[in-house]
Structure formats: C-alpha cells, structure tokens
C-alpha cells in the first residue's frame, strides 16, 4: 500500500485517518500541531507520542521533506536563498526576504516550468513535475525552522506556474491559512500568474482574499507574444478583462509585474500604451529591472529608462514602484541557482 502524504492532509482528513487506526480523537490535533505549528520534519520529533505510535505512523504515512543543500545569505540586504533537495533528489529554490513589515517567503510551485517565457531561467528545462502541497509547505517550514523567525507573508513567485498546478496550490494555501496550522493571513499571500485566464476566474470565485499578481511584461500582444508564449492562447485583452473582473468581484488591487528589458518593452511608447490599457483599473505596476541570465541575451534597462518609464505611468495616474533588486549578490532570481547547481554537478562552467 502506498504511504499517505500526511502533511498534505487537512485536519478533518487526518482525524478520519487516525479514527480508522483506532486512535483517540485528540491524537490528530497533536500530530497536526507537530506538523503545521512546530514544523516537525520526522515522526521521531513528536515526543509526546509513544515510540510505538511513532513507528506505526512512520509505516503508514510519509512526510516529504526539503533538505537544505545550499544557503546563500546576501551581505547587502539579508535576503536568504535556499536550495533544497526533495526526497526524490530533485532540486528547488526558495527565497526568504526581509521587509519592514516582516519576513516574506517566495515559494516554488513546480520543478521547472513549461510556460516558456523567453527571459526566464526557470523554464529552460521544461517542467519536471508539480510540487505537492506538503512539499510547498516544507519549503516554508524548513526556512522557518532554520531562521527561527516568524514568516508572515508568502508570494508564489518562485519556479513554476501556480495556476498550472492549481489543485495542489489551492490545498497548500488552505493548509497555510488554517487557524490550526501556520495561520497565515490570506491577504498576506500573493498568487502570481503569467496569465492563465480561466484559472483567474476560478480563483476569484473561490478565494477572493488572495492578492493576484499578474506577470504582464508588455503593453500589447505583439511584444507579449515574442516573450510570453502564453499570450498566444490568452491575448492581453482577455487577460486584462479577467483582471478587471477580479478587481470588481473582490475589491482587491491587482499587482502587475513588468520586467524592464532593454530595447524590448521599455520605450516611452510602451509606457504610454501601458498607461492607456490600465487606465481606470484598480492596480499597481511593479517595474523590475530584468535579471540578466546567462542562457539568453536580454539586458536590463538602464536606471534612467526605468525612471522615465515610471514617470510616464505616474503622470497618467498609474501607481508604480520600481522594485529594488533583493539579494543582487546571490543570484536571487527565478531558477538561476537551481540551474547553476545542476551545471556545477555536471562539471559545466557556471
Ligand atoms: N509563473 C508565474 C510565477 C513566477 S513568478 C508568473 O509568471 O507570474 C516569477 C516572476 O519573475 C514573474 O513575474 C516572472 O515573469 C519574473 N521573471 C522571470 N525571469 C525574470 C528575469 N530574468 N528578470 C526579471 N523578472 C523575471
């Protein structure tokens, strides 16, 4: 019989399992608390359960873990990048960022990605597999144990497209926000997507409290299609219509991510067109200097260009921030560390 992934179970599901094993009712609560409040990584740590019970649990359930293989700490701003090994040997990355309001963690939702954005290092080897709810939780719990800090915010902006791993991501978020678990506020969680339109509608019906972040990166389909293949399936019109519906249904502001790539999407004309498109929407634009990755030739826009672009949006009434680059000295952007780790292990130059 396959072992059941115990960290992916909700409390009522765990209660059912333990009842079927003939255990007293309070046991499920104890185990759940070990898993989701004390971040136990093995049954042996659950010291208020007898040894026999711990052994029985070990036979019946599995507890997938993230083992830290590398930890890089930025000397500039304290950002920590973790490289984790999963039980099947796959490598994922996760970033812990320190803000004025507390710690925020950037979680991967898939191993690799198959969305094919041309500037992104995560997608180069395609998508190896989806991450399970327990593995996404383990990304956070392992970091929380390691740093000893309370992690209050989470962004699904690591490797992968969250809305392509929809069911697992929703279960992960349900567990993450559970009052009996880590109890993270839904409003402290951002779900980021490259633009899977039907799933945006699903999300708004089910979970209007999550912040929606949309990777836009272009003001029109001509440019967007060159860098984001997803826009061939769902054009920008449809995407922005879904975003408008989202803000109307939820009263929540959408955050648009816009990586500034030199000579591709960073002209004044692009800024004007973007402002026109977003006019009247409840939104915010995050301008990000593109991270240069060695597998492509894209270059980041100059600081002057970023400021000029931002000024045009501001003048047109679109609120904008230029995102500071976190962990610039530790390769903190999407997929870069995993790739260099893989290359290293194959003896390739990094
Ligand atoms: N697939 C989801 C979640 C990934 S979030 C999404 O696309 O939203 C990671 C963010 O970093 C996305 O906005 C992505 O477009 C952006 N990104 C990827 N590579 C980048 C790079 N080289 N420079 C700047 N931003 C990048």
Q: How does pLDDT run across 15-30, given as a tens digit for each residue?
A: 999 999 999 999 999 9
pLDDT tens digits for range 52-86: 999 999 999 999 999 999 999 998 888 999 999 99
pLDDT at 330: 72
Give the max Cα distance, the chain: 69
Average pLDDT, stretch 79-103? 94
Provide the percentage of residues in the chain whose pLDDT is more than 70: 93
Region 161-187: mean pLDDT is 97
Could you tell me if the CB of 287 is within 6 A of ligand 1? Answer: no
Give the Cα separation of 243 and 283 in Å (integer): 9
Mutate to test the pocket of ligand 1, among 217, 293, 334 (most ligand atoms within 8 A of CB): 334
* Mean pLDDT value across residues 275-292: 95
- 243 labelled catalytic: no
* Span from the CA of 159 to the centroid of ligand 1 (angstroms): 8
Atom of ligand 1 nearest to the CA of 298: 22
296/260 Cα distance (integer angstroms): 15
| Integer Rg of the chain from CA | 21
Q: Is 334 in the pocket of ligand 1 (CB under 6 A)?
A: yes
Sign of CA dihedral 223, 226, 231, 233: positive
171 C-alpha to ligand 1 centroid (Å): 23
Higher pLDDT, 271 or 344: 271
**What pLDDT is stored for residue 299 in this prediction?**
95
- What's the confidence (pLDDT) of residue 208? 77
pLDDT at 344: 57
User: Which of 35-44, 108-117, 227-236, 333-342 is least confident?
Assistant: 333-342
Residue 154 appears among annotated catalytic residues:
no
* DSSP code of residue 164: G
Q: Which of 17, 93, 135, 161 is catalytic?
A: 93
Q: For tokens 């039907």, what's the residue? A: 198
CB of 293 shorter than 6 A to ligand 1: yes
pLDDT in tens, 299-309: 999 999 999 99
- Encode 219-246: b = buried (16+ Cβ within 10 Å), e = exposed: bbeebbeebbbbbeebbbeebbebbbeb
pLDDT of residue 313: 98
Contact 164, 206 (CB under 8 A): no
178 near 138, Cβ under 8 Å?
no
The verdict on the CB of residue 192 being under 6 Å from ligand 1 is yes
Confidence (pLDDT) at 185: 95
**pLDDT tens-digit readout, 185-226:** 999 999 999 999 999 999 998 877 999 999 999 999 999 999
For residue 155, which atom of ligand 1 is closest to its CA? 5
Alpha-carbon distance of 238 to 204, in angstroms, equals: 15
Atom 10, ligand 1: which residue's CA is nearest? 157
* Token code pair at residue 291: 């991270």
Q: Which residue bears the tokens 């950002």?
A: 79
Indicate whether residue 259 lines ligand 1 (CB < 6 A): yes
Task: Return the ligand 1 atom nearest residue 293 CA.
Answer: 22
Predicted local distance difference test score (pLDDT) of residue 80 = 95
Mind listing the pLDDT tens digit for each residue in 235-266?
999 999 999 999 999 999 999 999 999 999 99
**What confidence score (pLDDT) does residue 207 get?**
75
Which protein residue's CA is at the shortest distance from atom 4 of ligand 1? Answer: 157
What the block records as the tokens of 2 is: 């396959």
Distances (CA, A) of 28 to 6, 11, 289, 309: 11, 7, 47, 54
**Distances from the Cα of 234 to the Cα of 109, 199, 216, 221, 249, angstroms:** 21, 12, 12, 10, 21
The predicted pLDDT at position 349 comes to 35
pLDDT exceeds cutoff 90 at 234: yes
Contact 117, 228 (CB under 8 A): yes
Distance 108 CA to ligand 1 centre (A): 11
Contacts of 64 (CB under 8 A, 6+ apart): 5, 7, 86, 87, 132, 134, 135, 138
């Amino acid at each position: 019989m396959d072992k059941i992934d115990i960290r992916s179970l909700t409390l009522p599901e765990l209660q059912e399992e333990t009842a079927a094993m003939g255990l007293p009712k309070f046991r499920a609560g104890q185990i759940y608390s070990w898993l989701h409040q004390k971040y136990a990584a093995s049954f042996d740590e659950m010291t208020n359960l007898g040894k026999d019970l711990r052994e029985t649990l070990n036979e019946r359930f599995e507890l997938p873990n993230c083992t830290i293989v590398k930890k890089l700490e930025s000397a500039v701003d304290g950002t920590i990048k973790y490289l984790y090994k999963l039980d099947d040997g796959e490598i994922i990355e996760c970033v812990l960022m320190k803000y004025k309001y507390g710690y925020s963690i950037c979680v991967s939702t898939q191993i690799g990605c198959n969305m094919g954005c041309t500037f992104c290092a995560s997608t180069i080897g395609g998508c190896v597999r989806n991450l399970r709810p327990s593995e996404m939780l383990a990304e956070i719990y392992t970091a929380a144990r390691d740093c000893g800090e309370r992690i209050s915010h989470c962004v699904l902006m690591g490797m992968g497209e969250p809305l392509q791993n929809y069911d697992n991501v929703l279960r992960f978020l349900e567990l993450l926000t559970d009052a009996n678990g880590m109890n993270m506020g839904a409003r402290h969680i951002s779900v980021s997507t490259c633009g899977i339109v039907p799933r945006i509608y699903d999300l708004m019906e089910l979970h209007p409290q999550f912040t929606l972040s949309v990777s836009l990166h272009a003001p029109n389909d001509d440019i967007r299609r060159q860098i984001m293949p997803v826009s061939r399936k769902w054009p920008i019109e449809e995407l922005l219509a879904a975003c408008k519906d989202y803000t109307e249904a939820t009263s929540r502001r959408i955050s648009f991510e816009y990586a500034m790539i030199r000579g591709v999407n960073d002209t004044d004309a692009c800024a004007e067109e973007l402002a026109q498109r977003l006019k009247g929407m409840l939104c915010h634009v995050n301008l990000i200097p593109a991270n240069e990755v060695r597998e492509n030739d894209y270059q980041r826009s100059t600081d002057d260009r970023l400021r000029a672009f931002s000024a045009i949006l501001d003048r047109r009434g679109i609120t904008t921030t230029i995102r500071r680059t976190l962990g610039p000295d530790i390769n903190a952007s999407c997929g870069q560390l995993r790739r260099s780790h893989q290359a290293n292990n194959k003896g390739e130059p990094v």
